[in-house]
Every structure is written in C-alpha cells, then in structure tokens.
Amino acid sequence: MSSTTEIDEVRDAGRPGETRPSRPAPRNEPPARSRKGWRLRLRQDRTLLIMCVPAVGLLAVFAYLPMLGNVIAWQDYSPYVGIANSQFVGWANFERVFTNPLFLDAVVNTLTITAFQLVFFFPVPIMLALFVNGLMTPWLRNVIQSVVYLPHFFSWVLVVTIFQQILGGAGLLNQELGKLGLGGFDMMTNPDTFLLLVTSQAVWKDAGWGMIIFLAALSTVNPEHYEAAALDGAGRWRRMWHVTLPAIRPTIILLLILRLGDSLTVGFEQLILQRGAVGAEVAEVIDTYVYYQGVVNGDWAFAAAAGLVKGLVSLLLVLGANKLAHLFGEAGVYKKA
Amino acid sequence: MSTASILAVALLAGCGSAGAGTGGPEEGDGTLPNYVPLTFAEPDVPGINGAPDGYTQLPAEFERQFPEAPGSGGTYTAMTPLWGAVPKTDGNQYLESVNEAMGTTIDFQITDGTTYGDKLAAVLADQSNIPDWVSIPTWNFPPRFGQAVGTLFEDLTPFLAGDAVAAYPNLANIPTDAWRSCSWNGKVYGIPFPAAAGQRNAAFYRSDLLPDAELPTTAEEMLEFVEENHADGHWGSNDLWIFATAMFGVPSKWKVVDGELVHRVETQEYRDALQWMADLYATGAVHPDAVADNAADGKQRFESGDVVITADGVGAWHEALSKMRPADPEWDMAALPYFAAAGGDPVLYKSDAASMCSYLKATDDDAQIEELLDAANFLAAPFGTEENMTITNGVEGVHYELDQNNAPVKTDLGRTEVQPTFMFLVAPPEIVADPEKPDYVEARVKWQNETTLHEVEEPFYGMRVTEPNQFASLDQPFADLEKDIARGRKNMEDLDSAIETWRTSGGEELRTLYQEILDGEADEIADESAEVDE
C-alpha cells in the first residue's frame, strides 16, 4: 500500500463524488486497475462484510434456496415422488392458470380489495399520526398511541371473532336492536358490504401500528421550521400543509411503493376465515385460491405457477412505482448508485 | 380406443404420473386377513345387520388377555386427530400406563381434528418427517394418496393376509369390510378403526328442552320443526346439510341409473336437497354463526342450548352427554329417526366400514413392523378384557372410580388425560358401552339398528379409486355452491351452469373412467397395457 497509485485509490474511495479533471478515468477501465480497486474495497470493508455474512447466509438458505423449488411450476409435480422424478410439462400449468376463470375471478377480487384499501386504509395511519402528533398533552398522546396500536398484536381469528360477536346476526348490536324492537342486520354474511367489512377490520387492527412509522418521521421535523412558519403568519393548517406533509412525503411514498408490491397479498388468514360466510365470489383472492388448489386439492404445480405469476406482477409493480417516484424526484425504495 | 380409455390405460398401468387403484381386494382371494370373531362379553342390547352391540353394564369380571407386555421396548411416533382439548403428552399418566402395559412406547403428535387433513397433506409431502404410525380418517385422504401409499407406507399384506393374521387374534377379530376399506391397489396397507353398520351422521335435537316435540316425518315437517323451535331465546338449528342429503337420498359420489353412472351433482336428489336448504335458511331460524359458516362452534351452540337442532357425527352423542351430564343430570339429546323427504322409508347409503385407517411408515426393518403390529393387536383388545378397560378408561383410582353400579366414573385427571388417542390408531369392532348412561346405549343402538334397515351400497362401496390429479378440484365449486345456494347468494341456474362446467372440464372423462371400472373393463385395459409394456 505504499505506491502512489494505491494512495490515489484510497482517496478516490473515500471521496466517491469528487471528479479528478487532471486525470479523467477512461470510458473503458483497464481490467488490472479495476481488479485492484475491487480488492482494496474488500479489504477496507472487511469488517462490515463479515458482519453481513450471517444475514446473507440466512437469506441464501431460507429465501433464495427455496426459490429453486419453483421449478415445480413447470412439472406435473407430486410430493410423493419428488422434484427429481416428477415429469416436466413445459408451460402447461401457466396456460391453465391464465385460462382458469376461477383464478381470474380471484385476481379481480384481489385487485378490488387492494384498490379499495389503498384509498380507504392507506391514508388512515397518516391522519392518525398527524392527529396524535398534534396533541400537546404527552400522557394523552401516549395513551392514545398505545390503545390504537395494541390490536395489531391480536390474531386474525380473534379480530374476526370480535367482529362476529359485535356485528354478527347474533352479536351484541343485533341483540340491542332486538330489545328496542328494531330489525336486525348481519354485516358478517353480507357479500355487498364485504369490502367495507374487511377494510374496517384492517383499519381497526393495523392503522395504529402503521401510524408509528409516520410518527417517527414526524419526530425528525425541525421545530424551528414550525417557529419560522408561525412567525411568517402561517396558521395550524398552513404549517401542516407546508411543513409537516413535505417532511413525511418521502416516507409516504416509500410505504406506498412497498404497499404496491404487496398489492396482490391482501391477507390470507383474514379472508379464509370469512370466505364461507360471504361466499367465494367476493372473498376468493389469489392466496386463498392457491391454498385450495395447492394444499387442499393437491395440485401443487398449478399453485406454484399461480404463485409465480403473482410474484412477478408484484415485482413489476414495485419497480414501476419506484421508477415513477424517481421521475417525480423522490428517493423511492432505492436508487442506482 | 376412446379418450377415456387411453386415460384409463395411463392411470392403470401404474407408470404414469398419477396412479388409480381399482378398488380393494375381495374376501376369499387370500389378500385380506381372515375374520375370526372373538367374544368376551354378551351384549344386552344387540345390534342387528352389523350395527354395534350395546352394553349397559360392565362384565362382572374382565379377562386378562396379555399376561405379559407384548412389545419389545421400542419407541415410535404416532400422529392422530382429536376433536376436543388436546391433552399434554409429557407426563400423561394415561399414555404412560398404556405404553407400559403394551411394552412399546408410542409418542403422540395430536392435532386438532378439524384441520387434520390440511396438516396431513403437509406432513406426507415431507417424507423425511413422517411419523412411524399415522392415522388417516377416511374423509381426509390427501390427493394422490393412492399413488403415495406404496412409497410412504408399509405393505402389511405379507404380515396379515389370510391366515397370517392369526398371529394377531385381536386384529383377526376386525370385520373383513373394514380391512377392505384400508386396502389400496389390491394390498392391505392400513389398520382399521372399524365402524359398525348403520349411519354415521344424524340430526339431533335437545330432547330435554323439547320434551313434547312432535317429531317430523317429511322434509316439509322438518322445516316446520326447525322454524317452530326458533323461539324462547333458542335458535332453530345449526347447518343441516348432512341431514338434508340423507333425507333426500343424495349419493356421496355416483348413482347408477339405467346402467349409466350419474354423478351426485347431476341428480334430482341433490337439487332437491339444495332447494330445501335454501328454504331452511330463508326461515331465518338457522343460527347466525352457522350462517357465517362457523361450524367449529356448532357443538358448543347445541350443548349450551343456543340452538336446539343440529346435525353431527353420531360420535357427538356420547361426547356431548359425557361433557354435559356431570354438571346437569337432566341434560339430554336424541337422534331424529331418518325418513324420506316425501315421507316413508329413506334411502340411506352405507358408510365406510372403517372410519379411519392407520398406516405404518415404510421400513426395511421387519422387526419394527412386527412390534407395531403387536402393539396394534394389544390396542384392539375387545370389550370385556382388562386391556380394553385400561385403554378406554385409564387406571382405576387414578383416572376413574367405580360407582355403586360398577360403572367407571372419570376423575378430574381422567377427564383431562383420557382422550381418544390409541383408539384412533386401531380399535376393536365398534360397540356402544356405557354403564353410566344406559338410556344412551339403548337409544343409540336402537337408532342405529333402525338405519341399517334402509341402507344400500353405492356402486363403488368398499373401493378406493384414486382419481387423476387434474380432476382433484372438480368438486370444489360445488362445495362453495352448496353454501351459496343455502344462504340465498346463488340459485339453481348457477347450479346448472356449474354442472355444465363440471362436465366439460373433466367430469365426462371421470364418468367414463368410473364406468369402465364398474363394467370391469379397467382391469382388461390394464392387462392389455401390461402386455404392450412387455
């Protein structure tokens, strides 16, 4: 590490943004120089790299290695003879996926639920965070914060049971209506209001939890900005509009992109628990369909093909949304170096 | 050769990706264990036509069948379902006492019965983790099981066929039909949990809450019966689909009409049963939680009196009485006699002769299989033996005390620890015995005897046919449709459309396949195929 060239490289690595007009790098870097830089960077970052090894190892074993199992999407797979002995059938499973009306119905239901929740669920944690952040009494803020995020720790079985006990045909509300001589209703079995029901459940369970991230983002806003805005005559709403919202905009966009990536995953447990109550026509989503087809009916290959299609569409949605974010000048999920 | 014939060749040749068994072996062909009945106690309420015998009291003396523990000290894992509170297995004195008496230790993996099928599918898919002994209810056979059974589980034919079963006299005491129900591809793989003749499902009503009830004798009266009893804070009923199918004589799979196979969903009986269910739900008398498809709490709703009529497996009768009577001696329930929808004698299709079959994991170690068969022989000890008493009730003074009528009354520990665990691996021929509840024994045997008078066999009774995998999901739309039509979300036009879809997406091929099996052509095709292969 005593040569002048290596010292220059250390300096380059330490200041990656700087240009060196006196010695501009040629378009096609000489291979020897590039390899040296790579080795040097490895040496420099060895501590960090060693720290990353366990995480990378875990990812490789538990995330990437199992992906090889997706090969069954191209097989007439039977778990009893294994991947090695199952016959390859080309794209037949994918053809079945795209021509199966029940799968297409499940896709439509999934997209409907996700679109509805994007409009009526996604903004709720933001509004909740703005509300809680605006409270001046610390103990009240803490109490509200604790109360609204606790339902996140309830299982879906419990959440659905609570809703059933309150809003079901034999639930508390109907019992009280009955005592008053008013006609009852059963929201839990009504396919027409199912979208509203699952969204309400999601809001009740997870809006408080979602609020925490936005509260964290709000805590980074410099109070001097508020003071300056107030001195300029900005009222409460103006300060929210011109200071608070711009401060949390990157977080909102980041979460929106991540939400889009999950848009084809609308909650397996929540939906399968209520599928029988309202019928498959409105409650069958991609995940429940894959479960019935793969696990219950033993058509694992078809289910794998359907799952792959879902994964691919989700990936495209994330990449598309990220690109869109960059076009609007936002950071998005990641940026190319 | 027709498309279906080609399909059948592929299936039956056994070299394709999906195998199909054409049914179990026949009695007398030397494959099934020879039936050698054993009797240790005479029944006081005899069953007829193969229905279970009833015992309202215990024998004065029990015979000790095994002077010494038959096992050689091995330890094996077993997976069984349980409908109820799963007991702890570590430090469970009941399990320990039976294991000790048997000389073989069975470590149980007990799973909730309502989700057992789902867990089975996952467990069997991972061949490295299959327990040594697996219980599989006949309604929970995983898809492609006929293809898998020979790979995953031991062929017990060499150990049990014909006279070989004489080495295990308690297994020889199990009726032949039950063994046939546990046979695949012409070989015996499973050990039965036998079910006596007579229907396995019933509609029950709370006879203590409706002491003067005039029982219905037609479908119309049944509707009124439910509606009238939706009163005084009680809901009329839970879901009654399984009763409706029996009332209208809906076959479970196929029916032969003029020599042709008609699938259950195509029958008028199925259509009528669906319409009746829609009418039932329309009365508003069905409990809202049942409308919300919550079947898991159905027993609790019935036991608490929240609903007064329910449909359940016949085993629920004893289960509910045992649970409710200690706290409320007046608590009672009764099974409705079956009737045809229009009145008169019903057409009842025979149930499987085995409710469950248990399978031994495939191994090269014959000693292991022999030890497990010895254990099975011990566990199948018939009523009237000391061993049966221990397996049924646990240890006297620990799990039960005998009352003044010489009836075993469970202790608190007995109620917690003594659950159907060993029983779901193998059991002796079904009987109904409960000295504590002689009224139940009489009512149950009488009801079950009555049902045997109207039982008929379906065309593929006792046969295990493994369907090609691409047809596995053909029935799923109907499972959904049955719920949708009952709840008024869909109608008969949707049924017509679903039937048409079923026919065009594989139903007709399936019909042809079954027709050929029925006609005996399948075996010929398989032989031809074997010749071609040679």
User: pLDDT, tens digit, for every residue of A93-116?
Assistant: 999 888 888 899 999 999 999 999
Is residue B312 helix, strand or coil?
strand
Contact: A86, B17; criterion CB under 8 Å: yes
Task: Report the distance separating Cα A256 and Cα A122, nearest Å.
Answer: 8
Cα dihedral B372, B373, B379, B384, rounded to 10, equals: -150
Gap between the terminal Cα atoms of chain A: 27
Task: Specify if A185 maps to a domain.
Answer: yes
pLDDT for B518: 85
Q: Are A79 and B124 inside 8 Å of each other by CB? A: yes
A196 close to A118: Cβ distance less than 8 angstroms = no
Distance CA A285, CA B292 (A): 18
CB B3 within 8 A of CB B509: yes
B142 or A57: which leads in pLDDT: A57
Q: ipTM score here?
A: 0.77
- CATH classification at residue A226: 1.10.3720.10
* A88 to chain B: closest CA residue: B17
Q: Per the CB < 8 Å rule, is B292 touching A174?
A: no
Of B311, B118, B480, whose CA–CA distance to A278 is shortest?
A: B480
Side chain identity at residue A129, one-letter code? A
From chain A, the residues in CB contact with B476 under 8 A are 292, 296-297
Distance from CA of A264 to the nearest CA of B (A): 23
Q: Considering only the beta carbons, identify the residue of B122, B294, B480 that sits closest to A279.
A: B480
Residue owning tokens 């070299």: B15
Residue A319: inside a domain: yes
Q: Does A330 touch chain B (CB under 8 A)?
A: no
Domains of chain B, with CATH numbers?
53-59+71-197+353-434 (3.40.190.10), 201-349+467-519 (3.40.190.10)
Helix axes A31-44, A46-59, angle to 10 degrees: 90
Burial class (CB in 10 A: 0-12, 13-18, 19+), B249: buried
Q: How far apart are CA A3 and CA A23, in angstroms?
A: 17
CA atoms within 13 A on the CB side of B20: 24
Contact A78 B124 (CB under 8 A): no
Q: How many helices (H) and strands (E) does chain B have?
A: 21, 19
Dist CA B194 CA B177 (whole Å): 9
Task: Give CA separation, B240 vs B275, B282, B285, B483, in Å.
Answer: 13, 13, 12, 11
Q: How far is A177 from chain B (nearest CA, A)?
A: 15
Q: Would you say residue A249 lies in a domain?
A: yes
Q: Does A312 touch chain B (CB under 8 A)?
A: no
- pLDDT tens, A230-245? 898 888 888 888 898 9
Contact A298 B144 (CB under 8 A): yes
The verdict on A87 touching B (C-beta cutoff 8 Å) is yes
Question: DSSP secondary structure string, B168-227?
Answer: SHHHHTS-HHHHHHTEETTEE-EEEEE--SS-SEEEEE-TTT-TT-----SHHHHHHHHH
Number of separate domains in chain A: 1
| Residue A74 lies inside a defined structural domain of this protein | no
**Contact between B483 and A170 using a beta-carbon 8 Å cutoff:** no
Is B238 an interface residue toward A (CB < 8 Å)? no
- In chain A, residues with a C-beta closer than 8 Å to the C-beta of B479 are none
Domain that holds residue A220: 99-328
List chain A residues with CB under 8 Å of B235. Answer: 170
Task: State the pairing for strand pair B187-188/B408-410.
Answer: unpaired
Is pLDDT of A175 > 60?
Answer: yes
Q: Do B288 and A171 touch (CB under 8 A)?
A: yes
User: Using alpha carbons only, how large is chain A's radius of gyration in Å?
Assistant: 27
Instruction: Please give the distance of CA A148 from its chain centroid, rounded to a whole number.
Output: 20
Question: How many inter-chain contacts (A to B, CB under 8 Å) are there?
Answer: 101
Q: What is the CA angle B522-B2-B521, rounded to 5?
A: 15
The answer to whether the CB of B455 falls within 8 A of the CB of B251 is no
- pLDDT at res. A33: 52
Nearest by CB to A80, which of B117, B144, B470? B144
Check if B127 contacts A (Cβ < 8 Å). yes
List per-residue pLDDT tens for chain B, 534 residues long.
333 333 333 333 333 333 344 445 665 577 899 999 999 999 999 999 999 999 999 898 899 999 999 999 999 999 999 988 899 999 999 999 999 999 999 999 999 988 898 888 888 888 888 999 999 998 888 888 887 898 899 999 999 999 999 999 999 999 999 999 999 988 999 999 999 999 999 999 999 999 999 999 999 999 999 999 998 889 999 999 999 999 999 999 999 998 899 999 999 999 999 999 999 999 999 999 999 998 888 999 999 999 999 999 998 999 999 889 989 999 999 999 999 999 999 999 999 999 999 999 999 999 999 999 999 999 999 999 999 999 999 999 999 998 887 788 889 999 899 999 999 999 999 999 998 899 999 999 999 999 999 999 999 888 888 777 778 788 888 999 999 999 999 999 999 999 999 999 899 999 999 998 888 754 544 444 444 343
Residue A34 has a pLDDT of: 55
Only one residue has tokens 């024998």, namely B59
Q: Does A100 touch chain B (CB under 8 A)?
A: no
In a domain, residue A76? The reply is: no
B239 contacts B482 by C-beta, under 8 angstroms: no
Q: In what order do the strands lie in the sheet with B105-112?
A: B105-112, B75-82, B133-137, B354-360, B190-194
Burial class, A17, CB count within 10 angstroms (exposed 0-12 / middle 13-18 / buried 19+): exposed
CB contacts of B140 in chain A (<8 Å) are none
In a domain, A120, yes or no: yes
pLDDT tens by residue, A68-79: 999 999 998 888
Q: What SS3 state is found at A41?
A: helix
Q: How far is CA B505 from CA A68, B268, B474, B482, B509, in A?
A: 31, 21, 8, 19, 9
Nearest Cα to Cα of residue B133 among B303, B344, B368, B301: B368
Calpha distance A17→A14 (Å, rounded): 9
**Closest Cα in chain B to A165:** B289
* ∠ Cα B410 B401 B54 (to 5°): 70
Which stretch of DSSP H or E encloses residue B263? strand B260-263
Whether B125 and A81 lie within 8 Å, measured CB to CB: no
Question: What are the CA-CA distances from residue A126 to residues A218, A245, A250 (Å)?
Answer: 10, 10, 13
What whole-number distance in Å separates Cα of residue A49 and Cα of residue B419? 55
Q: Does the CB of A164 have a partner CB in chain B at under 8 Å?
A: yes
**Residue A277 in contact with partner chain B when CB distance is under 8 A:** yes
DSSP code at position A212: H
Q: Answer yes or no: do A297 and B293 touch at CB < 8 A.
A: no
The answer to whether A172 contacts chain B (CB < 8 Å) is no
Query: What is the structure's pLDDT at A324?
Result: 83
Instruction: Calculate the alpha carbon distances from A282 to A279, A288, B66, B485 in Å.
Output: 6, 12, 59, 15
- C-alpha A97: how far from chain center: 25
Whether residue A24 lies inside any domain: the answer is: no
Helices A92-99 and A300-327 meet at what angle, rounded to 10? 70
- The alpha carbon of residue B205 is apart from the nearest alpha carbon of chain A, in Å, by 20
Report the residue of chain B nearest A276, measured CA to CA.
B293
Show residues of chain A in contact with B17, CB under 8 Å. Answer: 76, 78, 81, 86-87
Shortest Cα distance, chain B CAs vs residue A233, angstroms: 56
Helix, strand or coil, per DSSP, at residue B36: coil
Q: How many CA atoms lie within 13 A of A227 on its CB side?
A: 3
Average pLDDT over residues A323-330: 82
Contact A295 B118 (CB under 8 A): yes
CA nearest to A102 within chain B: B477
CA distances from A257 to A317, A325, A330 (A): 8, 8, 11
Q: Is the pLDDT of residue A16 over 50?
A: no
Cβ(A120)–Cβ(A202) below 8 Å: no
| Window 269-298 of B, Cβ < 8 Å to A | 287-289, 291-294
Min Cα–Cα distance to chain B from A274, Å: 8
Tell me the shortest Cα–Cα distance from A331 to chain B, in angstroms: 42
- What are the residues whose beta carbons fall under 8 Å from the beta carbon of B379, sequence distance 6 or more? B98, B102, B391, B422, B423, B425, B426, B427
Q: Rounded to whole angstroms, how far apart are CA atoms A195 and A155?
A: 20
DSSP H/E element including B256: strand B254-257
Residues of chain A with Cβ-Cβ distance to B139 below 8 Å are: none
What's the gap in Å between the CA of B143 and the closest CA on chain A? 5
B350 touches chain A (CB under 8 A): no
Is the Cβ of B115 closer than 8 Å to some Cβ of chain A?
no
Nearest 5 degrees, angle CA B344-CA B350-CA B352? 155
pLDDT of the residue at A270: 95
Q: Which of B480, B481, B487 to mutate to test the interface with A (most CBs of A within 10 A)?
A: B480
| Contact list, A274 vs chain B (CB under 8 Å) | 292
Contact B144 A191 (CB under 8 A): no
Do B291 and A86 make contact, defined as CB atoms within 8 angstroms?
no
Q: What are phi and psi of B395, to 5 degrees?
A: -105, 130
Is residue A145 situated within a structural domain?
Answer: yes
Would you give the DSSP letter of residue A235? -
* Residues of chain B contacting residue A189, judged by C-beta atoms under 8 Å apart: 288, 291-292, 487
Write out residues 233-272 of A within 8 Å (CB-CB) of B. none
B188 CA to centre of own chain: 18
d(CA A332, CA A335): 7
- A-proximal residues of B, 46-85, CB under 8 Å: none
CA contacts within 13 A on the Cβ side of B424: 25
Whether B226 and B357 have beta carbons less than 8 Å apart is answered as no
Maximum pairwise Cα distance, chain A: 94
Burial label for B90, CB within 10 Å (0-12, 13-18, 19+), is exposed
Question: Average pLDDT of chain A?
Answer: 85
Of A277, A296, A298, the CB nearest to B292: A277
